[in-house]
Amino acid sequence: KDAYFTNPLFFYAGSYPQAWNVTWKSTNFKTFLTWEPKPSPDYSYTVEFSQVGGNKQRTQHCIRSSATTCDLSNSLTDLKACYVADVLSEPPQGVISDQIEFPHKSSPKFCPYKDTDIDSPDFKLEVSKGKATLTVTDSLTAHFKDGVLQNIRDIFSEELQYKVTYWKNKSTGKKVWFSKTSVIEMTNLDQGESYCFQVQAYIPSRSFEKQLGEMSQTLCSKDDDQSIFKVYSPAVIISTIVLILLLIGIIITVIVICCKQRKKVPKSEKKGVV
C-alpha cells in the first residue's frame, strides 16, 4: 500500500472539471482552438479533432497540457473540409486514472475555407491626372503547399476580390469600387482633387458576415493643383491682401516724402547765391 502511494504513476479515481467556451479563432488560416478555464495542477487538457464524420486525431503538443489553447494550423490540411474538436479533461502528465471516459466539451463546426478571418491588406497608392492606381499585397497565410507558404490569392484564386472605399479628402460622402485583381486602376476621379482610400478583401461566395476582411489603413493622395482658396480660409486671404496693401501704401508714402524733401532748397543756400 505504501509503495502504491509513493509511486509517481499513482491512480486517481476522481472526476475533472469540464472545459467550456470552446472556440475556434482563425485569421489567414492560422487556426487555434481555445477554451476555459485554466486548469489546476490536478488535471490537464487533451485535444482531439477530426474532419466531420472522420477519425479522431491528436497533435503531440496538445496532449495533457496545462494550456488553454491549441494551434491546429498545420493539422487542418484540407482547407475546404469542415472540422470538429473535443477538449478532454484528463489527469496531468505522469498520472494514471482508473476512469474509462473523461469529461469533454465539443467545439462548433469549423470550415477553414469559409470561416477563417482575412486580415487587413497593405497597398501602395499612386495618383496622376485623375487616375488612381492601388497595388495591393495579397496577405500571406499559415498554409503551406509543396513546402511553399501560400497567400490568400493562391488559396481563393478568382474568388478573391478587393473592395475599395474612397472619398474626397475632407468630405463625408463615400463611394465603393470592386476589383477582381490586386492592381486596381480607378479613372473616375476629379482631376486636382485629393482622395482617400481604404481596401478590404472581398470573397462573395462566403456567407454575408464572412465576405469582407479587415479594413486596411487609410491612404490619401495630394492635390495636383491646390488653389489658394482651398489651402487658406477667406479670412486669412483677406487679411493677407489688406496687409500687403498697407505695406504698399506705407512704402509709397515714404517715397513721396523723401522726394519732396529732396526738392526743397534750404534758405541758407539761396542767400549765398550772387
User: Which segment, 10-14, 103-107, 128-132, is predicted with the most confidence on average?
Assistant: 103-107
Report helix, strand or coil for 231: helix
Question: What's the rounded mean pLDDT across residues 108-137?
Answer: 95
Closest to 126 (Cα-Cα) out of 177, 183, 72: 183
Range with lowest mean pLDDT among 10-14, 49-53, 137-141: 10-14
Q: Which residue has the cell 486671404?
A: 237
**What's the pLDDT tens digit per position in 226-245?**
454 554 567 777 878 888 88
Is 203 within 8 Å of 156 (Cβ atoms)?
Answer: yes
pLDDT at 119 over 90: yes
- pLDDT bucket at 7, cuts 50 / 70 / 90: very low
Please provide residue 208's backbone torsions phi and psi, each rounded to the nearest 5 degrees: -55, -45
Closest to 121 (Cα-Cα) out of 44, 175, 17, 197: 197
SS (H, E, C) 171-191: CCCEEEEEECCCEEEECCCCC
Q: What cell does 229 get?
A: 482658396
Q: Is 146 left (phi over 0), alpha (psi -120 to 50) or beta?
A: left
**What's the pLDDT tens digit per position in 247-271?**
888 888 888 888 877 776 555 554 5
DSSP 139: P
Q: Can you give the pLDDT at residue 85?
A: 98
The whole-model pTM stands at 0.75
Residue % of the chain over a pLDDT of 90: 66
195-202 and 219-220 beta bridge pairing: antiparallel
Report helix, strand or coil for 18: coil
Who has greater pLDDT, 272 or 50? 50
Return the ∠ at Cα 162 (arms to 156 and 164), rounded to 5°: 170
Q: What cell does 141 get?
A: 497565410
Could you tell me the maximum CA-CA distance found in the chain, to the nearest angstrom? 149
**What's the pLDDT tens digit per position in 39-95?**
999 999 999 999 999 999 999 999 999 999 999 999 999 999 999 999 999 999 888
Torsion of CA 217, 221, 222, 226, to 10 degrees: -120
Q: Can you give the pLDDT at residue 67?
A: 97
Q: What cell does 256 get?
A: 513721396
Q: Can you give the pLDDT at residue 268?
A: 52
Q: Can you give the pLDDT at residue 97?
A: 77
Q: Can you give the pLDDT at residue 70?
A: 98
Q: What cell does 170 get?
A: 475632407
The full DSSP string for 26-44 is: EETTEEEEEEE-PPPTT-E
Burial class from Cβ neighbours inside 10 Å (0-12, 13-18, 19+) for residue 72 reads: buried
**What's the pLDDT tens digit per position in 189-227?**
988 889 999 999 999 999 999 999 999 999 999 865 445
Helices (H) and strands (E) in the chain, counts: 6, 17
pLDDT at 133 over 60: yes
pLDDT at 96 over 90: no
